[in-house]
Copies of this chain bind each other. A is one copy, B any other.
Amino acid sequence: MAAYADRAGLRAFVFVPAGKVAAGKLSQSIEYGATVVEIEGNFDDAMRIVRQVAAETDVYLLNSINPFRLEGQKAIAIELLEQFEWEPPSWIALPGGNLGNCSAFGKALREMFDLGFISRMPRLAVIQAEGAAPFYNLFSSPNRSTLEPVPHPATLATAIRIGNPVSWKKALRAIEWTDGVVERVSEQEIADAKAIIGRDGIGCEPASAAALAGVKRLVETGTIEPEESVVVVLTGNLLKDPDYTVGYHAGRLRVGDEADTREVLGRFANRPIRAAADVEVLKRLLSERS
C-alpha cells in the first residue's frame, strides 16, 4: 500500500499497535514513504481508533475490512486453483487473525464453483494461536451466533495477535460454504512448524507456520485423512520477522580464534542438523529485548 500510494503521489498513513509489529513489515512501510503512526494498545485498539477516525475524515481505509481489499486477496485462491488445473486440493489451510484471507478465500472458492471452474469445493482449515483464538471459540460454540472478543490476545505470531477480528462474519460464512474447520495451536507447535518450513529451504513468519501446525493437529485427530491433499498458504516471508528466529538463537556459538573454530567444527560435524525451537527460551529472549 505504501509503495503504490507513493507511486501515485498519495500520502499513505500506516497505523500500527506500538511495539507489536515485526521489524521487517515496519521497515517496508517506512521505507516506501508512509507516515507510520504507532497507536498505544494492541491491534484491536488500533483498529477501533482507525475505523472511527476514517469515518470522520477523508482518509480512505485500506484494512481488510475494505471489501475491495478482499477482492484483491481472492487472487491467491484463484491462482492456486489455476495452478492445480482447476482440480482443487481436498483442503486449504490458512492462519486466522483478522480473518481477511479466510473471507477472501471463501468468496473466491464460491465464485469459482458457481461459475463452473471447479466442480467441488476444497475445505478451508483456519488456524489460530491458542492465545488469540476468538474464531476457534466461535466455531466450537453450540450455535455460532456471536464472536466473543479475546480482550488480551497473546502470541509471538504478531500477524495473528488479534482478539476482535473484523471479518468474522464473512469468515464464518466461508467456513460454512466450504464445510471448513477452525483449529488452534500452541506457541510450541507454531515454533516447531516454523523450523520444519525453514529446514525445507522456504522459511516463513510465525503466523504462517501456525497453518502447518494446525494441519499436523488435524491429521492427528483424524479430521484430515491420510490420502487427502492439503495446500498450506504461507502468508508472510521469513524476512518479515527476523527477530523471532534470531532472538531464539542469539549468542549460541561464539569463537575467538582458529583453535576455537576447529573445535566447533569438530563438535558439530556429526550432530543432527537442528532441533526445533524451544518456545520458552524464545519467549524469554523476545521479552528481554522488547
Determine the chain B residues whose CB is within 8 A of the CB of A269 once the complex forms: 11
> Which among A194, A249, A251, A265 has the highest number of chain B CB atoms within 10 Å?
A265
Determine the chain B residues whose CB is within 8 A of the CB of A7 once the complex forms: 200-201
Q: Which of B4, B36, B245, B253 makes the CB contact (< 8 A) with A27?
A: B245
A262 and B37 alpha carbons, distance in the complex (Å): 11
Chain B's closest residue to A261 (CB) is: B53
Which of A263-290 touch B at CB < 8 Å?
264-265, 268-269, 273-274
Chain B's closest residue to A257 (CB) is: B49
A58 and B249 alpha carbons, distance in the complex (Å): 26
> Which among A3, A11, A200, A242 has the highest number of chain B CB atoms within 10 Å?
A242
A279 and B40 alpha carbons, distance in the complex (Å): 27
Determine the chain B residues whose CB is within 8 A of the CB of A35 once the complex forms: 253, 264, 268, 273-274
Q: Which of B30, B243, B261 makes the CB contact (< 8 A) with A23?
A: B243
Q: Chain A contact residues: over half helix, strand or loop, or mixed?
A: helix
A268 and B262 alpha carbons, distance in the complex (Å): 56
Determine the chain B residues whose CB is within 8 A of the CB of A38 once the complex forms: 251, 253-255
Interface size on A, as a range, is 35 or more
How far is the CB of A36 from the nearest CB of chain B, in Å?
A: 7
Determine the chain B residues whose CB is within 8 A of the CB of A194 once the complex forms: 31
A257 and B49 alpha carbons, distance in the complex (Å): 7
A39 and B255 within 8 A (CB): yes
How far is the CB of A193 from the nearest CB of chain B, in Å?
A: 12
Q: Which of B15, B251, B258 makes the CB contact (< 8 A) with A49?
A: B258
Which of A9-37 touch B at CB < 8 Å?
11, 13, 15, 18, 23-24, 26-28, 30-33, 35-37
- Given A242-B27, A262-B56, are A18 and B254 also a contact pair (CB < 8 Å)? yes
Q: Which of B23, B40, B203, B262 makes the CB contact (< 8 A) with A32?
A: B203
A239 and B257 alpha carbons, distance in the complex (Å): 31
